[in-house]
Amino acid sequence: MQSLTDTKLTIYGEQFTSRMLIGSALYPSPEVMQAAIATSGAEIVTVSLRRQQTKQAGDDFWTLIKEMGLRVLPNTAGCHSVKEAVTLAQMCREVFATDWIKLELIGDEYNLQPDPIALLEATEILLKDGFKVLPYCTDDLVLCQRLDALGCEVLMPWGAPIGTGKGLLNPYNLQTIRTRLPHQTLIVDAGLGLPSHACQALELGYDAVLLNSAVAGAGCPITMAKAFEASTVAGRLSYLAKAMPQKEVASPSTPTLGMPFWHAN
Amino acid sequence: MSTQARVAILGFGLTGRIAALMLAERYQISVFEQAKQGTESSAGSVAAAMLAPLAESVICDEALALQGLESMKLWPQLLAKLENPVFFQQQGSLIVAHGQDRGDLVSFQQRLKPLRDHSAEVVNGARIAQLEPELGGVFHQGLYLPCEGQLDNQAFYQSSAATLTKQGVEINYGVHCNEAQKAQLSQAYDWVIDCRGLGAKATCNGLRGVRGEVARIYAPEVTLTRPVRLMHPRYPIYIAPKPDHQFVIGATEIESQDNGEITVRSTLELLSAAYSVHRGFAEARVLSLLAGLRPAFKDNHPKIEQQGNVISINGLYRHGYLLAPLIVKQALSKELL
Q: Does domain B90-148+208-296 have CATH number 3.30.300.30?
A: no
CATH code of A117's domain? 3.20.20.70
Report pLDDT digits (tens) over A179-227: 999 999 999 999 999 999 999 999 999 999 999 999 998 889 999 999 9
Q: Please name which of A40, A47, A27, A28 lies closest in space to residue A224, comparing C-alpha atoms.
A: A40
Model confidence at A265: pLDDT above 60: no
Model confidence at A57: pLDDT above 80: no
Band (pLDDT 50/70/90 cuts) for residue A259 is low
Band (pLDDT 50/70/90 cuts) for residue B43 is confident
CB-based contact A147:A136 (threshold 8 Å): no
Report the distance separating Cα A216 and Cα A66, nearest Å: 19
Buried b (16+ CB within 10 A) or exposed e, B10-31: bbbbbbbbbbbbbbbeebbbbb
Residue of B nearest to A28 (CA): B59
Report the distance separating Cα A261 and Cα A252, nearest Å: 17
Model confidence at A23: pLDDT above 80: yes
pLDDT of residue A264: 52
Query: How big is the CA angle at B190 (ends B188 and B194), to the nearest 5 degrees?
Result: 85
Q: Provide CB contacts within 8 A for B272, sequence distance 6+.
A: none
- Annotate A63-122 with DSSP letters as a single string: HHHHHTTPEEEEE-TT--SHHHHHHHHHHHHHHH--SEEEE--EEETTTTEE-HHHHHHH
Taking one residue from A and the other from B, the number of pairs with CB-CB distance under 8 angstroms is 55
CB-based contact B92:B38 (threshold 8 Å): no
Asked whether residue A4 is assigned to any structural domain, the reply reads: no
pLDDT of residue A245: 84
Work out the burial of residue B173: count CB atoms within 10 Å of its CB; fewer than 13 is exposed, 13-18 middle, 19 or more buried: middle
Distance from CA of B64 to the nearest CA of A (A): 13
Any CB–CB contact under 8 A between B299 and chain A?
yes
Percent of chain B with pLDDT over 70: 99
Q: Using CB atoms and an 8 Å cut-off, which of residues 27-86 of chain A contact chain B? A: 28-32, 34, 50-54, 56-61, 64
pLDDT of residue B98: 87
Model confidence at A46: pLDDT above 50: yes
pLDDT of residue A253: 67
Model confidence at B312: pLDDT above 90: yes
Report pLDDT digits (tens) over B155-181: 999 999 999 999 999 999 999 899 999
Top-confidence range, A14-18, A23-27, B259-263? A14-18
Dihedral, B40, B43, B46, B48 alpha carbons, nearest 10: -150
A61·B263 Cβ contact <8 A: no
B6-54+153-206+300-333, CATH topology level: Rossmann fold (3.40.50)
pLDDT of residue B1: 44
Structure ipTM:
0.74
pLDDT of residue B241: 96
Asked whether residue A67 is assigned to any structural domain, the reply reads: yes
Average pLDDT over residues B63-68: 95
Contacts of A28 in chain B (CB under 8 A): 59-60, 300
Top-confidence range, A36-45, B54-63, B110-119? A36-45
A52·B208 Cβ contact <8 A: no
Average pLDDT over residues A227-255: 86
Band (pLDDT 50/70/90 cuts) for residue B117 is confident
Q: How far is CA A190 from CA A21, A100, A164, A253, B194, in A?
A: 11, 18, 8, 38, 44
Model confidence at B100: pLDDT above 70: yes
CB-based contact B67:B331 (threshold 8 Å): no
Cite the residue boundaries of each domain of chain B with CATH code 3.30.9.10. 90-148+208-296
Model confidence at A154: pLDDT above 90: yes
Helical H segments across A139-253, by residue range = 141-150, 171-180, 195-203, 213-216, 221-241
Q: In what order do the strands lie in the sheet with B28-33?
A: B170-173, B28-33, B6-10, B191-194, B310-314, B303-307
pLDDT of residue B265: 87
Report the distance separating Cα B229 and Cα B214, nearest Å: 14
Report the distance separating Cα A257 and Cα A260, nearest Å: 9
Asked whether residue A102 is assigned to any structural domain, the reply reads: yes
Q: Which of A55, A66, A83, A102 is catalytic?
A: A102
Report pLDDT digits (tens) over B128-151: 999 999 998 899 999 999 999 999
Q: How far is CA A146 from CA A184, B277, B304, in A?
A: 12, 43, 57
Asked whether residue A2 is assigned to any structural domain, the reply reads: no
Coil, strand or helix: which one is B223? coil
| Range(s) of the domain holding residue A74 | 9-263
Band (pLDDT 50/70/90 cuts) for residue A252 is low
Report pLDDT digits (tens) over A131-146: 999 999 999 999 999 9
Any CB–CB contact under 8 A between B255 and chain A?
yes
Dihedral, B81, B86, B92, B96 alpha carbons, nearest 10: -150
Percent of chain B with pLDDT over 90: 77
Average pLDDT over residues B202-215: 91
Average pLDDT over residues A25-38: 93
Model confidence at B21: pLDDT above 70: yes
pTM of the model: 0.83
Dihedral, A37, A89, A155, A127 alpha carbons, nearest 10: -140
Q: Using CB atoms and an 8 Å cut-off, which of residues 171-230 of chain A contact chain B? A: 217, 219
State which H helix or E strand residue B47 sits in: none
Average pLDDT over residues B297-313: 95
Asked whether residue A3 is assigned to any structural domain, the reply reads: no
Domain count, chain A: 1
A8 labelled catalytic? no
Report the distance separating Cα B124 and Cα B142, nearest Å: 7
Cite the residue boundaries of each domain of chain B with CATH code 3.40.50.720. 6-54+153-206+300-333
Percent of chain A with pLDDT over 90: 71
**Averaged pLDDT of chain A:** 90
**Averaged pLDDT of chain B:** 93
